Chain A
C-alpha cells in the first residue's frame, strides 16, 4: 500500500512538472544583428550539385569582398529530409541558419510554424525588388506577409522524341485529346515504347489535365475535374502505359523512362533537361507546351519553384538580407539558369535568358499562358504527406474505383485537411 502511495505521488509529481516541449520563438534582433561573423546559409542539395556550388562560391566571394570580416557557411541539405531539418531549426533557434532556400509549396507549413521572417521591408528597399512580378510576389506571400523572394521557377511541358515522330509521320499534339490519340498510335506502331510516360504518383503531371478541363484541387469532385482526371487516367492503360508498369510511377520515374528512350513523350520540367541529355534521348527530342483542351491553348502548368527566405531566428538578419538580395538578383539568377536551367523570376533576367536560349521558349510560353498553384494552406502539407491525390489517381488507374467514387473520396479528405 505504501509502495502504491509512493508511486502515485511520484506519478503526480511527474504529471504536474511536465508538459510537451514547446520552444518560444525568439524575435529577431531589432538592430539587424552583428554585421560581421559567419552567416549560415542552407541551400538544397541537387542530384548534380557541381554547377550550382560553383555559382554559389562566386556569389560568396563577391559578398565577402563587399562585407569585411564576414564568412559565409553554406550547407547543402537533402531535399528528402528538408522537412525534418527545418522543423529542427524552428525548434532550436541556436542551430538555425540565417538564409534558407525552400520549396514554394512548403511555405504555408513554415509560415504557420512561425519560422520565417517578414521580408516586406527588405524587398521594398531592394532596387531589383520592383522587377518581381505580382504573381511571383503572391506565390511567396502568406496571409498578407511576404515571407520569401522567389528565386527560380520550374514548370513542365511536353517533351517528345523527334526521331519517333518523323518516322511515324506524326505532329506534336495540339490538344489533350490529340495527345491521347498520338500516344496510342505510337504504342500501336512501336509496342516496345510507351506513348507518353505517365504515373499514378505523378501529381504535377496529372493536375494540368484537371486544370485544362476547368477543374481544380479544391473542387476535385466537380464535373470538370472529373473530366480532366479521366483524360489522365485513360493514359494509364494497355494502349499507352500499362497499369502494371505505370500505376505507381513517380514524376522522377517518368523522367527516367523518357531519358532512357522507353517513352516517346513525357511531361517533364525545364529542370529535367540535364537528366534527359544524360540519357539516350539526347539530341533526339524537342519540347512544346502541354496543349489544352482546345487547339492553340496551353494547359495551365503547376508553378513550382524555390524561394529564398530569412529565418525568424536568424542571428544576423541585416547581413542575411544583403546576401539574399545578392543571390536573388538578376546577375545570379541568370548564372543559375546557365548552371542548372532554373527559370529566373525577375523579368529582366528571364528576358535575357529567353533571348539567348531557344530551349526555354516553350516553358516561358507556358508561364505566359498562366500557371496554377496548390492551395496556400498548411493543410496542403497534410494532403501531400498522406498521398491523397496519388491514391485517387491509382485507384482509378488500377480499376479499384471509378472516377466519381475516387474523386468524391479525395474531395472529402481535401476539404477536411483545408478546413481544419
Chain B
C-alpha cells in the first residue's frame, strides 16, 4: 500500500513531464547539441558528414570582437527600452485609474491597437512617418532630407521608440489590473495620514504591486533583449555598416543566413544563459527584499 502511495505522484506528473520535455527540454537539448557540431547546410542535406567540434563554435564566438560590441549595444539598448517601457506603461496605468470612463476606453483602445499591430507592419508604418524626404515627421518639423537612420543614436532612438510603442500596452494593462486590485481601504488610510500622490505611489502601490512588477520587468527584459523585427525592418538588417546590430539580428546574419547552424546554436545558448542569469539575479534580489514570488 505504501509503495503505491509513493509512486502515485510520479504517474500524476507524467503528462506534464511529457509536455514540458517535448516542448522545452528536447529543443534545448538539440540547441546544445548543434552548438558543439560543425553543422551547416552541407551537413543538413547530407553532402558532408556531421563532425563534432567541441567548444570551437564558442571559442570563435567569444574571441570575435564584433560579438562583444554587439552584445554591449544589445544590453544597453534593451535596458533603455525596458526602462522607457516601464515608465510609459506605469504612467499611463496610473492615468487610467484617474480618468473617467470615455477617455479610459479611448486610451485602452489606442494602446490595444498598438499592441495588436504586427511588428513588421508597425515598423514599416513608422518608417514611412520618419522617411528622409517624404516622411510626415520631417515635413512637420521642416527637416526634409534628415535621415534618422544615418546616425547610430538617432537610429537606435527611433527603433527604441517603436519597441516601446509596441510593448507598453502589456505593461499598462497588467499594472492597471494590479492597481485596481489594491484595496481601497489602504489607499484611503494613506490619504487620511496625509500621504501625497507621489508618496502613495512609491510607498503603497509599488510594494503591493511588486509581484506584478516582477513579471512585467522579466517579460520586458526578455522581449527587448531578443528584439529582431524592428531592427531588421527599420535599419535594413543592422543599419549602416552594422551600427545597429543587436544580438538576435547578428545571430541571424552570421549563422542562419549563412547556413552555419552550429554557430547560430552557440549564439542561442549564450543568449539563453545571459537571460537566465539576469532573471535569476532579479528574482534573488526580490527574495532578499522579503518578497516571495
Known: A247-B240, A381-B259. A2 touches B6 (CB 8 A): yes
18 contacts between A and B (CB under 8 A): A3-B9, A11-B29, A14-B29, A20-B34, A22-B44, A22-B46, A22-B50, A25-B45, A83-B257, A87-B44, A87-B259, A90-B41, A200-B240, A244-B146, A385-B253, A386-B253, A387-B253, A394-B240
Instruction: Check: B105 CB closer than 8 A to any chain A CB.
Output: no
Q: Are B147 and A244 in contact (CB under 8 A)?
A: yes
A90 contacts which of B45, B48, B237, B239 (Cβ < 8 Å)? B45
* B binding-site residues for A, Cβ under 8 Å: 6-7, 9-10, 13, 17, 21, 25-26, 29-30, 33-34, 37, 39, 41-48, 50, 132, 145-147, 149-150, 236-243, 253-254, 257-260
Q: Are A18 and B253 in contact (CB under 8 A)?
A: no
B47 contacts which of A21, A112, A381 (Cβ < 8 Å)? A112
CA distance A15 to B17 in the complex (A): 16
Q: Are A387 and B237 in contact (CB under 8 A)?
A: yes
Q: Are A6 and B10 in contact (CB under 8 A)?
A: yes
Instruction: Check: A170 CB closer than 8 A to any chain B CB.
Output: no
8 Å CB interface, A4-51 against B: 6-7, 10-11, 14-15, 18-25
CB distance from A105 to the nearest CB of B (A): 14
Which A residue sits closest to B45, measured CB to CB? Answer: A90
Q: Are B33 and A382 in contact (CB under 8 A)?
A: no
Number of residue pairs A-B, CB distance < 8 angstroms: 119
* A binding-site residues for B, Cβ under 8 Å: 2-3, 6-7, 10-11, 14-15, 18-25, 83, 87, 90-91, 109, 112-115, 200, 243-245, 247-248, 378, 381-382, 385-387, 390-392, 394-395, 398, 400
CA distance A87 to B43 in the complex (A): 11
CA distance A390 to B235 in the complex (A): 14
Known: A19-B33, A115-B47, A387-B237. A245 touches B41 (CB 8 A): no
Q: Are A381 and B258 in contact (CB under 8 A)?
A: yes
CB distance from B200 to the nearest CB of A (A): 46
Known: A10-B21, A87-B259. A248 touches B149 (CB 8 A): yes
Known: A10-B21, A385-B253, A386-B257. A23 touches B240 (CB 8 A): no
Residues of A within 8 Å of B9, CB to CB, are 3
Which A residue sits closest to B261, measured CB to CB? Answer: A20
CB distance from B31 to the nearest CB of A (A): 10
Residues of B within 8 Å of A395, CB to CB, are 241
Residues of A within 8 Å of B7, CB to CB, are 2
Q: Are A113 and B45 in contact (CB under 8 A)?
A: yes
Residues of B within 8 Å of A6, CB to CB, are 10
Residues of A within 8 Å of B237, CB to CB, are 387
Q: Are A11 and B240 in contact (CB under 8 A)?
A: no
Residues of A within 8 Å of B259, CB to CB, are 83, 87, 109, 381-382
Q: Are A115 and B45 in contact (CB under 8 A)?
A: yes
CA distance A392 to B149 in the complex (A): 18
Residues of A within 8 Å of B43, CB to CB, are 20, 22
